[in-house]
Structure 1
Amino acid sequence: MTEQNKKRERVYQVSSNREKSSHKLRYVEASAPHEDDCRLCVGSLATTDAQPCDFTVANTSYNDISKIAFLEKQLYSNDAYSAAFFYQALRQWPHTFLTLKAGEKTAGYSLMVPVSDSDVSLMSLLVGKMFQGKGLGKLLLSDSIALARSLGYKQMELSVAPDNASAVSLYRSFGFNTTKTVRDYLGPGQDRLLMTLSLWEN
């Protein structure tokens, strides 16, 4: 195996439990794309010198699905959300499905799912490793929160691994509070903090 094939990319992801309606945030490892991978998809992950002001967050369109699905496939392999799932998500939740872009490149996405008339759950938020260190996680989360608030939701919820200090710190910096810790939330040894954020304007 060459050094290139051994190369790993770390990505920042908030993802739902594939079997339940609960959610989790974690750091995961994904294989770097090979030279013969789809240029369209790899282009969505290519290293960029773009600065935060060059990125935009907008409602997801059908043209974004293939790149978003590629991001998922790299992370979760056979357990990844499929393109069909994202098409269905876009049909069901078109107003709470966001894509982060730098020009034609797809840098990440955010998917929020309403759980009641007043509550929304942050189901998935992803920013690729090569786009990190630019404040883009904060940008995407900030825009997600602003969108949820503008749509009239009063509370946002999520869950996060207790030992994921950077993620917990990020959420707390946005005002999320821990409501409780659930042991074995996603299976033996998979404890999670449940966090909520009030979206009421002060």
Structure 2
Amino acid sequence: MSSDTPSRDRVYQVSSNRESASHKLRYVEGSAPDTDECRLCVGSLPQANKSDPLVTVQIATSEDIARIAFFEKQLYDKDAYSSLFFYQALRQWPKGFLTIKSDEKVAGYSLVVPLDGGRATLMSLLIGKSFQGQGLGQVLLEQAIESATADQWHELELSVSPDNAPAIKLYKRAGFQSVNTVKDYLGPGEDRLIMRRTL
């Protein structure tokens, strides 16, 4: 490849429907922008190939819960949130409970819940094993931040295992900063790094 050939990168086309709280994204191959412009905002991208997966982010529904609970059990076993918890979350924090789907299949979820003083916490963000490594975690995180901003929270907080380097890197890229490490945050031996970002 010559130095004159623009680099190609995976970017997203996004359409947003605020009334239905739904965001549709499609993987497309296109020239990387010359500036630091947000790739979600880049226009005039080529049409996606038919084989590219359609990715959507939207508010969760009760029909999504069985698959979400399956992913939880798959990744966290006995520490997984139960279906009952997710049904309760759907009733208590419906706008903060998002799912991400790939070709209409639930691939993961995020849950933002209120704290005090105009703050909220990203209680959970999970991508199912079979959908990992496709950049879906970043897409879902960006949409969770956008949703929290639209809900007029001033600050978003999260906790993550200090040993989970990939997750910490993802959160830092999204503007989160490390605040402190809390010993036994989730029980004996379950320390957590607290991270925050302003909205």
Q: Tell whether the structures are fold-level matches, with TM greater than 0.5.
A: yes
1:107 corresponds in structure 2 to 107
Provide Cα deviations, 1:35-71, integer angstroms capped at 9, x if missing partner.
xxxxxxxxxxxxxx974x6111000011111111222
1:60 corresponds in structure 2 to 60
1:146 corresponds in structure 2 to 146
CA distance in 2, matches of 1:76, 1:168: 18
Correspondences of 1:156-195 after superposition (within 5 Å): 156-195=156-195
1:88 corresponds in structure 2 to 88
SS at match of 1:186: coil
2:126 corresponds in structure 1 to 126
Instruction: Give the total of aligned pairs.
Output: 150
CA distance in 1, matches of 2:79, 2:164: 22
CA distance in 2, matches of 1:67, 1:135: 20
1:73 corresponds in structure 2 to 73
2:33 corresponds in structure 1 to none
Give the superposition deviation at 1:152: 0.3
- Gaps spanning 5+ residues in structure 1: where? 1-48
Contact 1:50–1:102 (8 Å) recurs in 2 = no
TM superposition score normalised by structure 2: 0.69
Greater mean deviation of Cα atoms: 138-147 or 63-72:
63-72
Contact 2:54–2:104 (8 Å) recurs in 1 = no
Q: Which amino acid aligns with 2:161?
A: A
Q: Which amino acid aligns with 2:141?
A: L
CA distance in 2, matches of 1:83, 1:50: 33
Correspondences of 1:35-54 after superposition (within 5 Å): 51=52, 54=54
Larger Rg: 2
Q: Which amino acid aligns with 2:112?
A: M
Q: Which amino acid aligns with 1:100?
A: I
Q: Any runs of at least 4 consecutive aligned residues in structure 1 with deviations exceeding 6 A, and if so which? A: none
Provide Cα deviations, 1:141-160, integer angstroms capped at 9, x if missing partner.
00000000011001010112
SS at match of 1:66: helix
Greater mean deviation of Cα atoms: 89-98 or 74-83:
74-83
2:43 corresponds in structure 1 to none
Which protein has greater RCO, CA pairs closer than 8 Å, 6+ apart?
Answer: 1
CA distance in 2, matches of 1:187, 1:145: 27
Contact 2:55–2:104 (8 Å) recurs in 1 = no
CA distance in 1, matches of 2:185, 2:104: 38
Q: Which amino acid aligns with 1:95?
A: K
TM superposition score normalised by structure 1: 0.68
Provide Cα deviations, 1:50-94, integer angstroms capped at 9, x if missing partner.
74x611100001111111122223233444322222111101101
SS at match of 2:181: strand
CA distance in 2, matches of 1:112, 1:139: 15
CA distance in 2, matches of 1:104, 1:194: 33
- Gaps spanning 5+ residues in structure 2: where? 1-49
2:135 corresponds in structure 1 to 135
Q: Compute the RMSD of aligned alpha carbons.
A: 2.0
Paired-residue identity, %: 55
